[in-house]
C-alpha cells in the first residue's frame, strides 16, 4: 500500500498527520480514522496520486499558504502565560519571555500622525468639520476661501498634536531613564554591568539599597546576616509601610555569592498572576546534595519596589509585561462628565438645526436639478452653528479650574489627577465613603483590655503595669502542679500575647547603626566570644541607649503594615513590656524589671482578608516551651477558642462604644505536636497545586480549643472637623453613605458620633436575611421607616440585590443616610454602579486604602485621601486630598464655580455661532436664497479668535458669590443638583436670544442702510462684534481686571482691522456721523431689550446668590 503523509496545521495551532490512499487501496484496505476531522473532511483529503500531479501541486501550494498564514497569526498573537522552571545564571527561554523594558509611549514616528488623526476624527464634531473643509476643495461647492474652513480645523488639530507629542515625549524620557538604569549581574566570571532593559529571566541581579527592583525576582541572598531585608512598596500597592522579605535559606547559608552558581540552582515559578500578595514557587539546588525549598510571597521582590536596606541578590523570574507591576497597570477608566454628555446632546441638536435650516432654504429656493449642490453649500454656510472651538475652550477652562483647585491654600495638598471632570464636583448628589482612615484618622489608640471577669480602661492602665511588674518580680513556683491563675498572671499572659503575636518590627532613630533591627556586627564574632559577653554586647548594640540598671531606654519606633498592630505593641511598651528586637528567627522583649525574654520564631501565619486572623508559633529560649498565639476578628475566633459565656457580649459592648475589637488566644504545644504539624505544613508548602488550601487545612489541625486570653478595644480617632463637614454636605443636599468592612455596632457608633446620622434621625437596622422571603418581609418593614437612616450588613445587601434590586435601591435612596457593614471591595463598587444606574445622578466616592480603589474608579468622581494605609487610593483617584474636611470646599466652592462657569462658557460659545448663522440665513433669504457667504476670509476667522475669544473665555474667572458665602450657605449648591444651569430650557433661551439679535442686526441694517447697502458687511460686522462684547459685560457678575483688559484688547484688534483691511471696510464711511448714529441704534436694538429683561428679572425674581448679595 502506497501512502503519502502531509502535515496540515489546523486553526487551533496543532498538527495532524493526514494519510492519503489510492482509490485502489481504499477498496481493499481499512482506512484508519482521521484525527480531528469529520467524514466529509476525510473524503475531501482523499485523492488519487497517480496521474494527478496538478491536483497535488495545488494542494501543496494551498498547504504552504495556510502554513505561512498561521505562522504569521501566531507571531502576532501574544504568547500564553505559562508556569516555568528557571535555571539560574543561564540564558533561558530565548525569545520565549518578554523583553524587560518599560514602554508607556503611545506613538512612534510612523504611527504618531495616523493615530492622532484617527482618535480626533472619531469625535463627531471634528469629522463633521473635516467633511465641510473637504467640500471647499471642490470649486462648485466652495462658498468662501478654502483657508477659512481649513484654518480652524488645522489649528485645533495642531493644538491637540502638540499636547499629545509633549505628553508622549515626557513618557519616552521617563521610560528611557528607567530602561537605562544600570545594575550588576552575577556571572561565572564575576559581576558585570547591565542595563535594565537587557535583563533576562534567569539572571542573578544585584539590587543596592534605595535602588528600584527592575523585574520580578526571588530574593536569593542579602548582605544582612539575618537573611532578610525590607522593601518599600508604595509605588506598587500604595502602602507606605516597609515589607519584610526573606532570602532563600539554602543560598543564604553559602559562603559567597559565587557559590550560588556552583550549586546548580533553579526556581520553579507559577505562571504570571495579577495578585501581588501571593506567590507559589520552589527553589532547587543540585549540589552538594539535591534540595527543595518552598517559596512564597515573603521570598519575592516585585518590580518597582525599592530595597530599603542592605544589598539584595535576586533571581529574575518575570520580565516586562509579565511582571506583577505591568499586569496591574491598567489604564484607568476614561471618565466623561454628565456636563460633557449634555453638551454633546446639545451639539446633536445644533446639527439637526443645521440640516433643517439648509433643507428649508433649498425648498424655498425651488426645485432644481442641482439641489444637492445648494444643500451642501448651505451646510457649509451654516457650519458655524456647531462651534468647532467649543471643545478646545472647554478643555482649556477645565485646566484652569484644576489649577485653581491645586493652588487653593485652604485645601493645601490637594492634587488634581484628572482634569477632564472638575465641573462634576459641582453637581454631586451622593457621596460614598469608607470609614477607617476616611471618616476616621486611622490613628489607633488602645482603649480597653477585657479579661472576662475584669476590664481595664485608659484610667486603669496603671493597674495593668503594676500587676505586670508584680508578676515578673514574683519567684516562679516549681511547675509540679498547675499555676493558680491569679489576676496578675492573667494580665501577664494577655500582655505577653499582645507583645508577641504580631508582625511589628522595632527600629531606632539611627538607621545606619540599627538597620531597622536587621544587622549587627556582633553576629560575625559570635562563635569566637563567650556567650554571656556576646549577649551583653549584642544588647548594647541593638538596644542602643538601654541602661539596664536605670531602666532607661530610647523611644523605639515601629514598622508594620497595620496601625492596629502598632497600637497594641505601643501599649505593651506603655505598661513596660517592650519589644526591642525582632528578625526573621527571633524576637526579644524587655520586661518591667529590666530583664530580657527571648523567643525563637518558629512559624508565622499572616493576616488575610479571608482568614481574618493571624498567628505565630514561638519557643521560649529559656523554658523551651512552644506556644501558639492567635488573634483575630470575633466572628472567626468564636469557633476557635474554648467555650465561654462572655466573649460575644463584651465584643458587642465594645463595638457600641465605637471600638475595633480583637480576640486573643493561645495554645501550648508539645514537642511532638509541633513536629507533626511542621511536617504536615511543610508538605503543604511544597505542593504546587492548590497550595493555599492545603496550608490552610494543615493550620486548622492546631487551631481548635485554644485558651481565650482577652479581648482588646482600639479606638480610631475621628477626622478633624468631620462633624462640621458632614453637616455641611447634608445641608448642600449631598447624601453620604458609609461603606465599611467593620462590625455593625462599630459602624453605627461612628455614624452617630461623626454626625453622619444626626441625633434626631432614627436608625433602622435591617435584620439579617438569607432567603428571598426574609428579604421581602424585611423590605416591607423598612418601607414603613424609609425616612430613617439605614444600617445593613453586606450579606443581607447581597440577598436584597439578588432578588429585589430596584425596590431596595429605591428605598435606600430615600433614606437620609445609609451605613453598609461587613462590605467587601467588590460590593462597594457594585453599590456605586447601582446608584448611578437608578438615580442617574452624579456619584462621588472617597476612600484612603487599596480596598477603596474599585469604588473610587467606578464613581463619577473619585476622591482619595493620603492616609496611613498608603497612597493607592490617592493615586487611583481623580482628586487627592489630605483630609476629609477638604471635601467641603472642593465641592461647594470649586465644584460649584467649575460647573457654573462651564455652563456659561459653553452656552455663550454656542450663542456666538448661532447669531452669525442667523444673520447668514437672513442674508441668503433676502437675496433670493443665494448660497454666498456674508463674511469672507479673515473676518470669519477673526470673529471667533481675535475679536471675541479672550472676553468670552475669561468667563472662567467669573464668580457670583465669595468663597466664605458659598461655604456659609451650602443651600447654594443644592440648586445646581437639578441641572438647571445647563438644560434644554436654557439652551432654547439662548437660541431665541440668538435669533432675535441676528434678525435685529440684519433686518435693521437693511432697513437703515438702504442707500449704503454696499457697506452691509462693515455695518453688520461692527454691530456684531460690539454686541458680543456687550453680552459678555451683561453676563459677568464679578469683574476681574483681566476681563477689562480683554475687552480693550478685542476692541483694539477690531480698530486695527479697520485700518489695515481697507478691502473690507471703507474708512470714510466708518468714520462718518451717519454711520455712528445708525450703529448706536442697531446696537441698542439688539442689546437694550435683553438688558431690560434681565434687570426686571433680577429685580422681581432674583436668584439665590443675588438675594444673598443684596442682604
Catalytic residues: 434
Q: How far is CA 144 from the centre of its chain?
A: 49
Sign of the Cα torsion 655, 657, 662, 668 reads negative
Helix spans in 784-871 (H): 794-803, 805-814, 825-839, 853-858
Contact 45, 20 (CB under 8 A): yes
Indicate the helix (H) or strand (E) that contains 509.
Answer: none
Integer CA distances (angstroms), 351 to 620, 803, 984, in order: 82, 44, 15
User: Which helix (H) or strand (E) element contains residue 493?
Assistant: helix 487-500
Cα dihedral 675, 679, 685, 689 in deg (nearest 10): -150
Q: Which residues of 834-873 are buried (b: 16+ CB within 10 A; e: fewer)?
A: bbbeeeebbbbbbbbbbbbbbbbbbbbbbbbbbbbbbbbb
Q: 3-state class of 902 per DSSP? A: helix
Measured at the alpha carbon of residue 114, what is the angle toward residues 111 and 117, in degrees to the nearest 5? 135
Distance CA 917, CA 726 (A): 49
Residue 335: how many other CB atoms lie within 10 Å? 16
DSSP H stretches of helix in 1016-1110: 1016-1035, 1041-1060, 1067-1070, 1073-1100, 1104-1110
Residue 405's closest CA among 887, 735, 67? Answer: 887
Cβ-contact 914, 385 below 8 angstroms? yes
Q: Which residues does 525 contact at the CB level (< 8 Å), separation at least 6?
A: 534
Q: Which residues contact 46 (CB under 8 A, 6 or more apart)?
A: 20, 21, 23, 26
Separation between Cα atoms, residue 876 and residue 857, nearest integer Å: 7
Cell numbers at residue 1007, please?
Answer: 432697513
Helix (H) or strand (E) holding 557: strand 557-559
Alpha-carbon dihedral angle through residues 512, 518, 519, 520, given to the nearest 10 degrees: 110
CB 843 within 8 A of CB 860: yes
3-state helix, strand, coil in the chain (%, to 5): 50, 20, 30
Q: Are 767 and 778 in contact (CB under 8 A)?
A: yes
Q: Say if CB 219 and CB 252 are below 8 A apart.
A: no
Choose among 1002, 987, 1015, 976: nearest CA to 1082: 1002
Give bridge partners of residue 85 from the DSSP assignment.
268
Distance CA 69, CA 361 (A): 56
Helices 563-574 + 487-500 axis angle, to 10? 140
Name the grid cell of 161. Answer: 498634536
- Cell reading at 346: 446639545
Closest CA to 374 of 145, 142, 147, 146: 142
Least Cα distance to 544 among 557, 531, 532 occurs for 557
**What are the grid coordinates assigned to 121, written together?**
476624527
Task: Look up residue 713 and give its three cell numbers.
Answer: 478595644
- Residue 268 in contact with residue 84, Cβ under 8 Å? yes
Q: Quote the CA–CA distance of 240 and 533 in Å, as a whole number.
A: 38
* Separation between Cα atoms, residue 65 and residue 62, nearest integer Å: 5
Amino acid at each position: 500500500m502506497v501512502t503519502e503523509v502531509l502535515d496540515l496545521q489546523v486553526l487551533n495551532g496543532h498538527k495532524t498527520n493526514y494519510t492519503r490512499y489510492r482509490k485502489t487501496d481504499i477498496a481493499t484496505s481499512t482506512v484508519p480514522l482521521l484525527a480531528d476531522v469529520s467524514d466529509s473532511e476525510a473524503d475531501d483529503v482523499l485523492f488519487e496520486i497517480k496521474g494527478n500531479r496538478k491536483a497535488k501541486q495545488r494542494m501543496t501550494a494551498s498547504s504552504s499558504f495556510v502554513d505561512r498564514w498561521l505562522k504569521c497569526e501566531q507571531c502576532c498573537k501574544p504568547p500564553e502565560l505559562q508556569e516555568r522552571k528557571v535555571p539560574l545564571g543561564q540564558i533561558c527561554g530565548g525569545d520565549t519571555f518578554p523583553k524587560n523594558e518599560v514602554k508607556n509611549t503611545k506613538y512612534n514616528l510612523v504611527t504618531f500622525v495616523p493615530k492622532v488623526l484617527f482618535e480626533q476624527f472619531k469625535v463627531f464634531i471634528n469629522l463633521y468639520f473635516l467633511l465641510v473643509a473637504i467640500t471647499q476643495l471642490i470649486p462648485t461647492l466652495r462658498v468662501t476661501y478654502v483657508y477659512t474652513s481649513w484654518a480652524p480645523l488645522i489649528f485645533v488639530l495642531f493644538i491637540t498634536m502638540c499636547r499629545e507629542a509633549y505628553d508622549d515625549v515626557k513618557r519616552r524620557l521617563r521610560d528611557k531613564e528607567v530602561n537605562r538604569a544600570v545594575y550588576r549581574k552575577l556571572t561565572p566570571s564575576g559581576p558585570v554591568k547591565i542595563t535594565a532593559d537587557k535583563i533576562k529571566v534567569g539572571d542573578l541581579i544585584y539590587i543596592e539599597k534605595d535602588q528600584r527592583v527592575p523585574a520580578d525576582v526571588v530574593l536569593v541572598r542579602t548582605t544582612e546576616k539575618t537573611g532578610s531585608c525590607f522593601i518599600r512598596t508604595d509605588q506598587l500597592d500604595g502602602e507606605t509601610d516597609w515589607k519584610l522579605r526573606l532570602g532563600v535559606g539554602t543560598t543564604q547559608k553559602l559562603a559567597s555569592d559565587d557559590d550560588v552558581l556552583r550549586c546548580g540552582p533553579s526556581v520553579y515559578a507559577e505562571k504570571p498572576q495579577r495578585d501581588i500578595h501571593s506567590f507559589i514557587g520552589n527553589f532547587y539546588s543540585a549540589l552538594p546534595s539535591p534540595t527543595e525549598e518552598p517559596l512564597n510571597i515573603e521570598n519575592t521582590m516585585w518590580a518597582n519596589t525599592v530595597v530599603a536596606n542592605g544589598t539584595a541578590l535576586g533571581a529574575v523570574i518575570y520580565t516586562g509585561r509579565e511582571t506583577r507591576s505591568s499586569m496591574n497597570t491598567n489604564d484607568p477608566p476614561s471618565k466623561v462628565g454628565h456636563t460633557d454628555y449634555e453638551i454633546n446632546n446639545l451639539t446633536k441638536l445644533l446639527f439637526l438645526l443645521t440640516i433643517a435650516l439648509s433643507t428649508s432654504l433649498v425648498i424655498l429656493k425651488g426645485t432644481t436639478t442641482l439641489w444637492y449642490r445648494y444643500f451642501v453649500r448651505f451646510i457649509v454656510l451654516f457650519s458655524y452653528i456647531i462651534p468647532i472651538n467649543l471643545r478646545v475652550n472647554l478643555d482649556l477652562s477645565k485646566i484652569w479650574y484644576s489649577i485653581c483647585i491645586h493652588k487653593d491654600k485652604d485645601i493645601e495638598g490637594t492634587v488634581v489627577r484628572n482634569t477632564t471632570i472638575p465641573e462634576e464636583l459641582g453637581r454631586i448628589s451622593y457621596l460614598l465613603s469608607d470609614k477607617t482612615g476616611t471618616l476616621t484618622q486611622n490613628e489607633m489608640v488602645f482603649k480597653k483590655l477585657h479579661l472576662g471577669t475584669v476590664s481595664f480602661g485608659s484610667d486603669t492602665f496603671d493597674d495593668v503595669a503594676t500587676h505586670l511588674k508584680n508578676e515578673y518580680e514574683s519567684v516562679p513556683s516549681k511547675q509540679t502542679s498547675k499555676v493558680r491563675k491569679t489576676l496578675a498572671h492573667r494580665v501577664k499572659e494577655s500582655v505577653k500575647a499582645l507583645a508577641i503575636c504580631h508582625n511589628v518590627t522595632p527600629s531606632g532613630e539611627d538607621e545606619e547603626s540599627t538597620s531597622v533591627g536587621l544587622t549587627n556586627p556582633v553576629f560575625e564574632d559570635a562563635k569566637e566570644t563567650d556567650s554571656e559577653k556576646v549577649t551583653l554586647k549584642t544588647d548594647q548594640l541593638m538596644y542602643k541607649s538601654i541602661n539596664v540598671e536605670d531602666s532607661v531606654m530610647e523611644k523605639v519606633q515601629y514598622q508594620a503594615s497595620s496601625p492596629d498592630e502598632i497600637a497594641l505593641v505601643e501599649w505593651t511598651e506603655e505598661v513596660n513590656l517592650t519589644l526591642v528586637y525582632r528578625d526573621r528567627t527571633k524576637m526579644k522583649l524587655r520586661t518591667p524589671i529590666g530583664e530580657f525574654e527571648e523567643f525563637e520564631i518558629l512559624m508565622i501565619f499572616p493576616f488575610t482578608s479571608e482568614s481574618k486572623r493571624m498567628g505565630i508559633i514561638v519557643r521560649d529560649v529559656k523554658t523551651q516551651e512552644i506556644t501558639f498565639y492567635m488573634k483575630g476578628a470575633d466572628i472567626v475566633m468564636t469557633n476557635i477558642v474554648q467555650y465561654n459565656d462572655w466573649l460575644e457580649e463584651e465584643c458587642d459592648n465594645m463595638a457600641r462604644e465605637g471600638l475595633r475589637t480583637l480576640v486573643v488566644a493561645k495554645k501550648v504545644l508539645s514537642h511532638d505536636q509541633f513536629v507533626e504539624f511542621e511536617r504536615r505544613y511543610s508538605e503543604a508548602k511544597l505542593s504546587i497545586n492548590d497550595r493555599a488550601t492545603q496550608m490552610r487545612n494543615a493550620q486548622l489541625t492546631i487551631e481548635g480549643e485554644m485558651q481565650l486570653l482577652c479581648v482588646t478595644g482600639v479606638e480610631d480617632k475621628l477626622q478633624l472637623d468631620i462633624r462640621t463637614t458632614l453637616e455641611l454636605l447634608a445641608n448642600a443636599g449631598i447624601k453620604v453613605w458609609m461603606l465599611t468592612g467593620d462590625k455593625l455596632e462599630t459602624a453605627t457608633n461612628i455614624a452617630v458620633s461623626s454626625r453622619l446620622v444626626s441625633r434626631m434621625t432614627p436608625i433602622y437596622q435591617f435584620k439579617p436575611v438569607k432567603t428571598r422571603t426574609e428579604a421581602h418581609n424585611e423590605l416591607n418593614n423598612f418601607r414603613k421607616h424609609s425616612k430613617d437612616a439605614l444600617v445593613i450588613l453586606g450579606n443581607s445587601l447581597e440577598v436584597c440585590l439578588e432578588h429585589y434590586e430596584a425596590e431596595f435601591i429605591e428605598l435606600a435612596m430615600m433614606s437620609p443616610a445609609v451605613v453598609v457593614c461587613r462590605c467587601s471591595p467588590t460590593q462597594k463598587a457594585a453599590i456605586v454602579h447601582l446608584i448611578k444606574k437608578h438615580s442617574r445622578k452624579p456619584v462621588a466616592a472617597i476612600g484612603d486604602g487599596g480596598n477603596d480603589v474599585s469604588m473610587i474608579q467606578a464613581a463619577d468622581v473619585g476622591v482619595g485621601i493620603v492616609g496611613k494605609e498608603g497612597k493607592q487610593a490617592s493615586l487611583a483617584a481623580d482628586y487627592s486630598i489630605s483630609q476629609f474636611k477638604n471635601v467641603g470646599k472642593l465641592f461647594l466652592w470649586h465644584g460649584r464655580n467649575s460647573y457654573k462657569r462651564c455652563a456659561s462658557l459653553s452656552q455663550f460659545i454656542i450663542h456666538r455661532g448661532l447669531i452669525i448663522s442667523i444673520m447668514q440665513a437672513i442674508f441668503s433669504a433676502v437675496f433670493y436664497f443665494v448660497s454666498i457667504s456674508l463674511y469672507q476670509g479673515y473676518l470669519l476667522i477673526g470673529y471667533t479668535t481675535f475679536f471675541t475669544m479672550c472676553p468670552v473665555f475669561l468667563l472662567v474667572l467669573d464668580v457670583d458669590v465669595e468663597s466664605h458665602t458659598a461655604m456659609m450657605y451650602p443651600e447654594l449648591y443644592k440648586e445646581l443638583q437639578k441641572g438647571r444651569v445647563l438644560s434644554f430650557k436654557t439652551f432654547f433661551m439662548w437660541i431665541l436670544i440668538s435669533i432675535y439679535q441676528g434678525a435685529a442686526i440684519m433686518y435693521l441694517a437693511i432697513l437703515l442702510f438702504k442707500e449704503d447697502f454696499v457697506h452691509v458687511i462693515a455695518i453688520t460686522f461692527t454691530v456684531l462684534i460690539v454686541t458680543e462684547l456687550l453680552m459678555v459685560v451683561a453676563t459677568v457678575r464679578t469683574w476681574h481686571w483681566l476681563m477689562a483688559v480683554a475687552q480693550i484688547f478685542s476692541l483694539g484688534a477690531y480698530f486695527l482691522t479697520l485700518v489695515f483691511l481697507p478691502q473690507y471696510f471703507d474708512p470714510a464711511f466708518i468714520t462718518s456721523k451717519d454711520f455712528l448714529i445708525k450703529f448706536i441704534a442697531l446696537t441698542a436694538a439688539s442689546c437694550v431689550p435683553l438688558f431690560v429683561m434681565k434687570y426686571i428679572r433680577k429685580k422681581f425674581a432674583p436668584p439665590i446668590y443675588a438675594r444673598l448679595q443684596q442682604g
